Amino acid sequence: MVKYKDIKSLTTDELKEWLNAAGEKPFRAEQIQNWLFCHQVRDFSEMNNVPPSTQAKLAAEFSIQSLTPAHRADSSDGTLKWLYKTYDGHFIETVMIPTNGRFSVCVSTQVGCAMNCSFCRTAKMGFTRNLEAGEILEEIIRVNWHLKDSNTLGEDGKIAQVTNIIFMGMGEPLNNLENVHRTCCTLHHQKLFNMGRKRMTLSTSGIVPKIKELVDRNTPCCLAVSLNSTNNERRSVVMPVNDTWPIEKLLEATDEYTRRTDNYVTFEFVLMKDVTCTDIAAKELIRICAPRRCKVNAIVLNPADDPTLEAPTPEEVEHFLALVRAAEIQITIRNPRGRDISAACGQLAYNQQKVVYAHTEST
């Protein structure tokens, strides 16, 4: 009846229903979820106000840990990247980015990705499956475990905790909207993670009908859209999704999002030498943004696998930013974090060698 393997994937009502059918008291659902998400326990046996017989039933039906760490890479800038093996033998990556007392986690939402953007490494993996909400939540919980185990302190002198979530790791979050929605609801829930809407940002390549669904569902998160190019011909070359949902359709959807949620959209804009980092592109970007309530987050292309694409020089980037700023468009440049460990945007991919390395290292 319950289709999820990981207990963290269930809503409170689903857990109540399961408990009821198993002859248990439904009120235990709140207790169990308090252990899972507030105390972030690592085993059912730690739930000490839940009777051992109930713990045993839960353990027989569900897992509480779905991911197994396979490798960790540490960047010189403090960024950490974990490679995890899923319960069915696939690999995903999670990145933690510490910045001035904030701890942001970039989570994967799918094993691989089906969008096939030419500049992104994850695309080369192809698509395997969606991650369950419990798996996505575990990516975050495991960072909290790391912060606790390493005794990392926050600005208040207490053990640090994850403060921000960005759905920008492997995968297209809107192609896994059901599970991403569940994840956001659990993160936002006052009695669970209690994370504000503004601390969660979902980034999409532009799946137009799913942007509408996100609004209909009132998923508690902010929206970022990978615009990356301002002209259909150019965008279709680097992002095949543009053939299905071209820029006009995408902007209709983001306009509707802004109108109905009263939130601005962030347009991500990957700067690629001679492709998107040009004077023409800057002019077109201004034309798109000037009449809208939006922000632009420019990202300098990180090395991936397409030999035809190059990063612009710092001068070219400055010139592009200056043109856009002159039109009073809000544009910021994303600091590339974790490039030395391939943890920056577009660099996440499963690499067999890393697993072998982690294995030999520990033996």
Show which residues are catalytic.
93, 345
Q: Are strands 80-85 and 200-204 parallel, antiparallel or unpaired?
A: unpaired
**CB proximity list for 338: less than 8 A, separation 6 or greater:** 75, 77, 79, 80, 81, 95, 97, 344
Work out the end-to-end distance of the chain between its first and last CA atoms, rounded to an integer number of angstroms.
Answer: 42
Is 277 a binder of ligand SAH (CB under 6 A)? Answer: no
Is 184 a binder of ligand SAH (CB under 6 A)? Answer: no
Binder to ligand SAH among 66, 179, 226, 342 (CB under 6 A)? Answer: 226
Helical (H) or strand (E) element with 95: strand 91-99
Q: Give the 3-state secondary structure of residue 332.
A: strand
Among residues 106 and 323, whose Cβ is nearest to ligand SAH? 106
Shortest Å, Cβ 124 to ligand SAH:
11
Is 120 a binder of ligand SAH (CB under 6 A)? Answer: yes
Only one of the segments 10-18, 21-29, 199-207, 208-216 lies at the binding site for ligand SAH (rule: CB under 6 A); that segment is 199-207
Residues 42-81 that bind ligand SAH (CB under 6 A): none
Q: Are 258 and 295 in contact (CB under 8 A)?
A: no
Q: How many helices (H) and strands (E) does the chain have?
A: 12, 12
Please identify which residue in the block is written with the tokens 């009908």: 209
Only one of the segments 25-33, 113-121, 129-137, 151-159 lies at the binding site for ligand SAH (rule: CB under 6 A); that segment is 113-121
d(C-alpha 211, C-alpha 223), whole Å: 9
Shortest Å, Cβ 54 to ligand SAH:
39
Binder to ligand SAH among 111, 165, 299, 349 (CB under 6 A)? Answer: 299
Among residues 33 and 302, whose Cβ is nearest to ligand SAH? 302
> Which chain residues interact with ligand SAH by CB under 6 A?
115, 119-120, 168, 172, 203-205, 226, 228, 268, 270, 299, 301-302, 304, 345-346
